């Protein structure tokens, strides 16, 4: 390979190389992956070896319109197949993608890349730089604007103006802290308490859902025992399901203990503001 790394073929090119029939046209560059395909792969949690259920539902058995459920309602069943990557790696990728910084055609990036959002629609603002623009002309624009064809109105601010606004805010905050330190500490503690209360609520909800799922698994285990005894479920399938249920239950029990410990920690850190 002359010291070069092998580039993976796109699916159509791979099928072509092994003589498998396919409906897609093979492009000139057989290693140029489509961005949407890469995003789908990066966001697919099932590569961690789990199964993801209840991603969508329908209005009713008569109305077949698909409704996508929020991620909080997904049912994650671990150890359903051999993992390609670890759960920790997958979660790290999702965190990095939230704050990804896309390079511009000029290679220049802003200090605030991946951190600026539209005040109306909440979408990220895109940093726009080009060879025809001087550095003091580079600007930000709502990603949902799409030259007037998107769902949001244009929001425009020069990068240099944004830098000045942030710098002035930092200076103002520094002056406030210097003059009113006790008031600042009170406000900081109040904000921190609010964050911790939100965290407390999320942890309690996680504990509640975990305990509910453990109770559901107990019923499912009882059901597969009955099905196996009645000859409705093969011994091999019974063993596989039982192992998966017990692994999930054990994982949940560990997580619940961690969540409860985190709850105690959050409660101890809440500042008394009286």
Task: Name every residue whose Cβ is closer than 8 Å to that of residue 162 and which is 6 or more positions away in sequence.
Answer: 110, 112, 116, 140
Pairing of strands 75-77, 66-68: unpaired
Q: What is the DSSP letter of 124?
A: B
Return the number of other C-beta atoms located less than 10 Å from residue 247's C-beta.
14
Taking only the tens of pLDDT, the chain with its 274 residues reads 344 456 788 888 888 888 888 787 878 888 888 878 888 888 888 888 888 887 777 766 666 777 777 777 777 777 778 888 888 888 888 877 776 656 556 667 777 877 888 888 888 888 888 878 888 888 888 888 766 666 787 777 898 999 999 999 999 999 999 999 888 888 888 888 888 888 888 889 989 999 999 999 999 999 999 999 999 989 998 898 899 889 889 989 998 998 888 888 877 776 665 5
Q: Is the pTM of this model over 0.95?
A: no
| Angle (nearest 5°) at CA 59 between 57 and 60 | 100
């Amino acid at each position: 390979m002359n010291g070069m790394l092998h580039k993976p073929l796109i699916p159509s090119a791979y099928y072509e190389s092994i003589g498998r029939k396919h409906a897609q046209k093979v492009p000139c560059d057989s290693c140029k992956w489509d961005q949407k395909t890469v995003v789908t792969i990066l966001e697919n949690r099932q590569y961690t070896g789990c199964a993801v259920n209840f991603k969508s539902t329908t209005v009713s058995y008569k109305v077949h319109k698909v409704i996508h459920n929020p991620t909080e309602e997904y049912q994650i069943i671990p150890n359903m197949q051999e993992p390609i990557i670890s759960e920790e790696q997958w979660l790290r990728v999702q965190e990095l993608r939230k704050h990804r910084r896309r390079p511009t055609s000029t290679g220049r990036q802003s200090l605030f890349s991946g951190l600026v959002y539209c005040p109306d629609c909440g979408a990220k603002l895109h940093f726009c730089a080009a060879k025809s623009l001087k550095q003091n002309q580079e600007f930000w624009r709502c990603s949902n604007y799409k030259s007037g064809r998107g769902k949001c109105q244009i929001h425009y601010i020069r990068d240099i103006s944004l830098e000045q606004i942030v710098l002035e805010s930092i200076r103002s905050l520094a002056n406030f802290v210097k003059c009113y330190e006790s008031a600042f500490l009170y406000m900081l503690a109040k904000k921190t308490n609010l964050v911790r209360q939100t965290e407390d609520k999320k942890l309690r909800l996680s504990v509640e859902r975990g305990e509910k799922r453990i109770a559901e698994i107990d019923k499912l285990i009882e059901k597969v025992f009955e099905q196996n005894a009645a000859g409705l479920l093969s011994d091999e399938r019974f063993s596989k399901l039982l192992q998966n249920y017990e692994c999930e239950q054990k994982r949940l029990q560990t997580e619940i203990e961690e969540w409860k410990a985190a709850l105690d920690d959050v409660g101890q850190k809440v500042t008394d503001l009286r």
